[in-house]
Amino acid sequence: MNTPVRHAHVTGWGRYAPAQVLTNRDLERIVDTSDEWIVSRTGIRERRVAAANETTASMAAVASLRAIRTAGIDPDEIDLILLATLTPDYWMPSTAALVKEAIGNTRAAAMDVSAACSGFVYAFATAQAYIASGLAKHVLVIGAELLTRFLDYTDRSTCILFGDGAGAVVLSASEEPGGSLAFEMTTEPQGAYMIWLPAGGAKAPPSAGTIARGEHYIRMEGNQTYRFATRTMATTALSAIRKAGLEPDDIKLFIPHQANNRIIEAVAKGLGLPMDRMYVNLDRYGNTSAASVPIALAEAVNEGRLDVGDRVVLVAFGAGFTSGAVAIEWTADPARGIAGDAAVTADDVSVRLPVDWDSVDPIPEALAELMRRPGPVDVPLDDVVPGEPEPAGIS
């Protein structure tokens, strides 16, 4: 008797973005930049910032419960939890373990996946392999990041790019064809030090010296990273598409990693497709690293951009250098996502804290100060009396 072929279908999707918004104009007040520069070079207009009581695990848990509700299963039906992040709550335990408890799951194996901005696509491909091999029936795949706590707010070339958030999908086994069709993953370690966070690991354990030198912040060679991304994204996507027996024109929508609008334009050009095949929401969230693809996927589906039978490609690049792409045939009712989102709020979720310990002042001081002070107020010209002092709050 032949073993049935097991396909991995996306049955649930959900996202969470913290409420606080940090605009380009806000950033103008702490670094030498401008809204015009940031918009024209990246496409980013604003990003979200997690509140002091939020963590990577708490944001991940909200997105996960929304995805589980959308899938219409019980949290305890999840067999495996894969959480992609470069900003875990702790070095150990895994953030996935904290999320498992927060969503009320008692059965799943839970682990983090470390592949930077490609992490969600890597985790998705791993989930597909678990399902195809019969090792798991329902896998929760999460991308979650709290990047605003790892940025140097004196470095205008990095602090303008990143934001916080989480997205998740449920992949479920089925003998029905469709779902995840093929994937491609690459790693090019020549780029290992193009985006990196020098200190805190075994090579440079945290110390007063590493902190004084700012080695606990993300560093990036923007130009080199840009060059890698524009070279690799289209070829990685094309490889996954061809492995699925398809051509670029067969793909209804691409969900690219949301790093830079000019990079996404280069992907469209490389694939010979118009920009309306690329989903873009980086204007509102900035680069949320491993969270960017699942947030964008959930938004695209909830906005009616995908229907049953459509082919969609997720494609990402990031530190490592890594890149990954998955070609999917969409099989879920898109209408389910909005109800799943509405069913869960941030107040429904709590991540257990350690006994007798909580971090003090988790938000970097420069960012905390910026969020405390109200931003510039748009005063109608008629109301301006020449010589009057500027309204309070303008720095």
257 is catalytic: yes
* Closest distance to ligand COA from the beta carbon of 1 (Å): 47
The strand pair at 253-256 and 138-146 is best described as unpaired
Q: Could you say which of 99, 259, 297, 300 contacts ligand COA (CB under 6 A)?
A: 259
Contact between residue 237 and residue 267 where contact means Cβ atoms under 8 Å apart: yes
Q: Which of 78, 141, 160, 351 binds ligand COA (CB under 6 A)?
A: 160
Closest separation in Å from C-beta 230 to ligand COA: 9
Contact yes or no for 20/371 (Cβ under 8 A): yes
Q: What is the nearest approach in angstroms of ligand COA to the Cβ of residue 41?
A: 4
The tokens describing 213, both together, are 């030198």
287 part of the active site: yes
What are the residue ranges of helices labelled H in 257-315? 261-271, 282-285, 292-302
Q: Residue 33, interface with ligand COA (CB under 6 A)? A: yes
* # chain residues binding ligand COA, by CB under 6 A: 20
Q: How far is the CB of 284 from ligand COA (least distance, A)?
A: 17
CB of 226 to ligand COA, least distance (A): 4
By CB under 6 A, tell whether 23 contacts ligand COA: no
- C-alpha span between 121 and 115 (Å, rounded): 9
The first and second tokens of residue 223, run together, are 């130009």
What minimum distance in Å lies between the beta carbon of 90 and ligand COA? 23
Q: Select the residue interacting with ligand COA from 318, 324, 337, 340 (CB under 6 A).
A: 318
Nearer to ligand COA, 172 or 260 (CB): 260
Give the shortest CB-384-to-ligand COA separation in angstroms: 28
Q: Which of 159, 257, 261, 281 is catalytic?
A: 257
Window 120 to 159, contacts with ligand COA (CB under 6 A): 156-157
From the CB of 389, what's the least distance to ligand COA, in Å?
A: 28
- 159 noted as active-site residue: no
State which residue, 22 or 160, has the beta carbon closest to ligand COA: 160
In angstroms, what is the C-alpha Rg of the chain?
21
Q: Where in 69-128 is the site for ligand COA (CB under 6 A)?
A: 117
Nearer to ligand COA, 190 or 223 (CB): 223
Tokens matching residue 327: 């070609």
Task: List residues bridging with 82 in a β-sheet.
Answer: 111, 141
CB 81 within 8 A of CB 111: yes
Given the complex with ligand COA, which of 87 and 260 has the nearer CB atom?
260
Interacting residue with ligand COA among 172, 260, 302, 331 (CB under 6 A): 260
Of 207-236, binders to ligand COA (CB under 6 A) are 220, 222-223, 225-226, 229
When binding is defined by CB under 6 A, the residue of 20, 23, 25, 37 that contacts ligand COA is 37
CA distance 111 to 184: 21
Site string for ligand COA, 266-295 (x = CB under 6 A): ---------------------x--------
Query: Which residue in 7, 9, 105, 117 is the catalytic one?
Result: 117
Nearer to ligand COA, 130 or 254 (CB): 254
Report which of 130, 5, 8, 20 is spatially closest to residue 363, judged by C-alpha positions. Answer: 20
Closer to ligand COA by CB, 130 or 153: give it.
153
- Residues found near ligand COA in the complex (CB under 6 A): 33, 37-38, 41-42, 117, 156-157, 160, 195, 220, 222-223, 225-226, 229, 259-260, 287, 318
Give the active site residues: 117, 257, 287
